């Protein structure tokens, strides 16, 4: 991608979008699939063709891709699978991508799509008591934030559950055990996490190394959020694979000023106050052992449980970040990805 960019052929993000856009699956005779736009945001709605015996579940799905790539088409197989296996109406949201559509526009797109769906449940024969908000990677971050925002929307149905596949939920500590252990594990290297943060926020990555060393976080903030974001909270069994407690690093105000957006509650919903966390819906969280973001999910699981929220947790011992991007591709799929999806389906069907 960098070579193509220097040659003037295309940018690295353009190449990445092409490569990861997925191969369209065959038509599915069991599903009614409808495309529409809401406030310029593309939606694809999947409904089982067989007549409903009652009102169905409604599942909103926000795809991954660091807010800069990914598409409805790339995650088509996941949404089709959930629609059929859960006898549900699934709404896949094609939020507009950064940096062309600046941050935090992705959250606004996801929120507008959610509001549209929740205000038109009758049209889709969806039970207002069975709304599920889901996503993978950055899409799981969007789902988390949307659930927090909806707490103030008293005129709308209450969300029944949030379903989060390997979520990224904080930008304060890039030295958690999973960031060390999986720094060079495909598909998401530790440096790539920061690089995509910069691309997402349309910033120059000249201070990438400083952010990797957590020099963007003021000491006062480190102390304030230590009770929620710290390696000390991670269970010991997740530290045995080569974790070394990091040495303290000096704070650099210029670095903080350049990238302070990643410390805000929108980018880092793990920093929400307990008064918000305690109101959130029941949750299903997937973590993968070989994933730099693994510990974000573990920390969020503990925060929810500490606030009395019921959590169903699935940990894939052999899974890696982005594994669901291969789901449904036959010999190119991974058994661990199939197990993750079947576990999620079983959870949704239990609601």
pLDDT in tens, 31-47: 999 999 999 999 999 99
First to last CA, the chain: 44
What are the CA-CA distances from residue 154 to residues 148, 149, 157, 222, 312 (Å)? 12, 11, 8, 34, 26
Q: Which residues have a catalytic role annotated?
A: 137, 291, 321
Q: For residue range 137-152, list pLDDT tens digits in order.
A: 999 999 999 999 999 9
Q: Residue 8: which pLDDT band, with cuts at 50, 70 and 90? A: low
Of the pLDDT bands very low, low, confident and very high (cuts 50, 70, 90), residue 337 is very high
Number of folded domains in the chain?
1
> Does residue 136 carry a pLDDT above 70?
yes
Q: Is residue 27 scored above 70 in pLDDT?
A: yes
Is residue 155's pLDDT more than 90? yes
Judge whether residue 9 has pLDDT over 90: no
Residue 53 is predicted with a pLDDT of 86
Q: Are 126 and 58 in contact (CB under 8 A)?
A: yes
pLDDT of residue 248: 87
Per-residue pLDDT of 262-318, as tens digits, reads 999 999 999 999 999 999 999 999 999 999 999 999 999 999 999 999 999 999 999
The predicted pLDDT at position 126 comes to: 97
Domain membership of residue 49 as a residue range: 1-350
Residue 116 pLDDT grade (very low, low, confident, very high; cuts 50, 70, 90): very high
Q: The domain spanning residue 226 has which CATH number?
A: 3.40.50.1820
Can you give the pLDDT at residue 14? 73
- Report the pLDDT value the prediction gives residue 1, as an integer from 0 to 100: 55
Cβ-in-10-Å burial (0-12, 13-18, 19+) of 36 comes to: exposed
d(CA 277, CA 272): 7
With 0.85 as the threshold, say if the pTM is over it. yes
């Amino acid at each position: 991608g960098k070579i193509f960019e220097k040659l003037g052929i295309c940018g690295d993000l353009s190449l990445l979008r092409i490569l990861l856009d997925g191969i369209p699956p065959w038509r599915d005779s069991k599903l009614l699939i409808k495309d529409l736009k809401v406030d310029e945001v593309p939606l694809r709605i999947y409904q089982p063709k067989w007549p409903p015996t009652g009102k169905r579940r409604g599942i909103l799905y926000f795809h991954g891709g660091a807010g800069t790539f990914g598409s409805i088409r790339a995650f088509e197989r996941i949404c089709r699978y959930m629609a059929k296996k859960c006898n549900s109406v699934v709404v896949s949201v094609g939020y507009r991508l950064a940096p062309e559509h600046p941050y935090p526009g992705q959250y606004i797109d996801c929120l507008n799509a959610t509001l549209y769906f929740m205000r038109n449940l009758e049209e889709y024969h969806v039970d207002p008591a069975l709304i599920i908000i889901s996503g993978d990677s950055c899409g799981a971050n969007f789902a988390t934030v949307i659930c927090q925002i909806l707490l103030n929307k008293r005129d709308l149905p209450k969300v029944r559950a949030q379903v989060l596949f390997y979520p990224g939920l904080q930008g304060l500590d890039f030295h958690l055990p999973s960031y060390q252990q999986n720094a060079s594990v495909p598909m998401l290297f530790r440096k790539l996490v920061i690089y995509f943060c910069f691309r997402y926020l349309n910033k120059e990555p000249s201070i990438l190394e400083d952010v990797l060393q957590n020099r963007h976080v003021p000491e006062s903030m480190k102390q304030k959020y230590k009770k929620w974001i710290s390696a000390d909270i991670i269970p010991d069994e997740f530290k045995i694979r080569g974790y070394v407690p990091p040495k303290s690093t000096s704070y650099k105000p210029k670095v903080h000023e350049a990238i302070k957006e990643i410390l805000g509650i929108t980018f880092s919903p793990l920093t929400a106050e307990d008064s918000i966390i305690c109101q959130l819906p029941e949750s299903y969280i997937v973590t993968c052992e070989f994933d730099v973001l693994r510990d974000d999910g573990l920390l969020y699981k503990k925060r929810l449980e500490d606030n009395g929220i019921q959590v169903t947790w699935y940990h894939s011992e052999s899974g890696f970040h982005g594994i669901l991007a291969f789901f449904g591709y036959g010999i190119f799929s991974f058994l661990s990805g199939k197990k993750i999806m079947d576990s999620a389906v079983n959870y949704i069907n239990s609601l």
